[in-house]
C-alpha cells in the first residue's frame, strides 16, 4: 500500500479517496511540471493482503481492459505501474462520489435517473463493441459528479473480454442483488449487464412518485429472467427511452 507523501512516477499521494478489501484509491498531485497526466490523478493500489497470482492477474486484466477503452462514461485507466512496492493503476480523477453514496445524500429527480440510465447505456453500447462484459454493475461502481455532468462506470475488476471467456477465473463474481439469473449459474451475456443496470435504476426510482407506466415496462423487459425475452442490446433500450429523453 502507498503512504501519504509517497511519490510514484512524478505523482505525490495526498490522501485516501476510497478503501476496499482488495484495493485502495488515492488522490495524487503532480510533483513536477512535466507530469504526464495533468495536475491530479487517482491511483489505485492493490492491497498488500491480495498477493496471490489470481489477484495480481485480476488487477492486471482490469488495467488491460480499461487502457484499451476510451469513452466519456467509462472511468479511464491511463497506465499500469509495477514497482518494487506494489501494482498500481493510474486513473483519471473524477471530482464526485459513488452513486451509492449520492443516493444516501439526496433523492434524484426522474430526469436525473433517466440521465444516469442513458449515460450507462451508452457505456454498455461501447463496451459491447469492444466485447467487454462488466459483470458487477451496481451503485457502488458508478461515479457521478454533484451536477451529474460526469457519470462514469468504474471498477472493472471482474470484467471479461469475449476472447477471455474460457479463462474467466471469476464466473460467479458479482453482487447477487444485481445479478441476472444466468450469472448465478456462472454464465453471462451482454444483456446480463443491462439487467444489472436496470436493477440499479429500479433502486433509484424507488423514492420517486408518479413513474410513467412505460418506464416500468422498459425496466421489466430489461430484467426478464429469460434471455430470449430480455432486451438484446442497448440501442433497443435507448430507442424505448426516447420519450423521456430531452
- List the beta strands (DSSP E) in 68-148: 77-82, 87-91, 97-98, 132-133, 142-144
Assess whether pLDDT exceeds 70 at residue 105: yes
Average pLDDT over residues 89-108: 96
Query: Is 155 assigned a catalytic role?
Result: no
Angstrom CA distances, 190 to 60, 61, 71, 111, stand at 22, 19, 18, 26
**What backbone phi and psi angles, to 5 degrees, belong to 237?**
-65, -45
The string of pLDDT tens digits covering residues 126-165 is 999 999 999 999 999 999 999 999 999 999 989 988 765 5
Give the number of other Cβ atoms within 10 Å of residue 83's Cβ: 9
CATH fit for domain 7-91, picks 3.40.50.720, 1.10.260.40, 3.10.20.600, 3.30.200.20: 3.30.200.20
CATH class in words for 97-244: mainly alpha
Q: Please give the residue that has the higher pLDDT: either 22 or 197.
A: 197
Q: Where in the chain is the domain with CATH 3.30.200.20?
A: 7-91
Asked if residue 141 lies in contact with residue 155, where contact means CB atoms within 8 angstroms, the answer is: yes
**Pairwise CA distance, residues 243 & 246, whole Å:** 8
The string of pLDDT tens digits covering residues 39-85 is 999 999 998 776 678 888 889 999 999 999 999 999 999 999 998 77
**Pairwise CA distance, residues 80 & 87, whole Å:** 7
Catalytic, out of 34, 136, 155, 240: 136
Residue 14's SS3 state is: strand
**According to the model, what pLDDT value does residue 229 have?**
97
The string of pLDDT tens digits covering residues 79-92 is 999 987 789 999 99
Assess whether pLDDT exceeds 90 at residue 241: yes
Q: Where in the chain is the domain with CATH 1.10.510.10?
A: 97-244
Assess whether pLDDT exceeds 70 at residue 166: no
Amino acid at each position: 500500500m502507498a503512504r501519504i507523501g509517497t511519490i510514484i512516477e512524478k505523482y505525490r499521494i495526498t490522501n485516501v479517496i476510497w478503501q476496499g478489501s482488495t484495493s485502495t484509491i488515492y488522490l495524487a498531485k503532480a510533483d513536477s511540471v512535466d507530469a504526464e497526466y495533468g495536475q491530479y490523478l487517482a491511483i489505485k493500489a492493490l492491497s498488500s493482503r491480495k498477493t496471490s497470482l489470481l489477484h495480481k492477474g485480476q488487477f492486471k486484466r482490469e488495467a488491460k481492459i480499461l487502457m484499451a477503452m476510451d469513452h466519456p462514461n467509462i472511468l479511464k485507466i491511463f497506465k499500469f505501474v509495477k514497482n518494487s512496492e506494489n501494482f498500481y493503476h493510474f486513473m483519471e480523477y473524477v471530482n464526485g462520489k459513488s452513486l451509492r453514496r449520492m443516493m444516501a445524500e439526496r433523492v434524484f429527480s426522474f430526469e436525473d435517473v433517466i440521465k444516469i440510465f442513458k449515460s450507462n447505456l451508452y457505456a454498455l453500447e461501447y463496451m459491447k463493441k469492444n466485447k467487454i462484459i462488466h459483470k458487477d454493475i451496481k451503485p457502488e461502481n458508478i461515479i457521478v459528479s454533484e451536477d451529474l455532468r460526469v457519470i462514469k462506470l468504474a471498477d472493472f475488476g471482474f470484467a471479461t473480454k469475449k476472447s477471455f471467456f474460457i479463462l474467466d477465473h471469476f464466473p460467479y463474481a458479482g453482487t447477487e442483488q444485481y445479478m441476472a439469473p444466468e450469472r448465478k449459474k456462472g454464465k453471462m451475456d451482454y444483456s446480463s449487464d443491462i439487467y444489472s443496470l436496470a436493477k440499479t435504476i429500479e433502486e433509484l426510482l424507488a423514492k420517486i412518485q408518479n413513474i410513467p407506466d412505460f418506464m416500468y415496462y422498459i425496466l421489466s423487459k430489461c430484467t426478464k429472467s429469460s434471455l430470449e425475452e430480455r432486451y438484446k442490446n442497448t440501442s433497443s433500450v435507448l430507442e424505448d427511452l426516447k420519450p423521456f429523453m430531452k
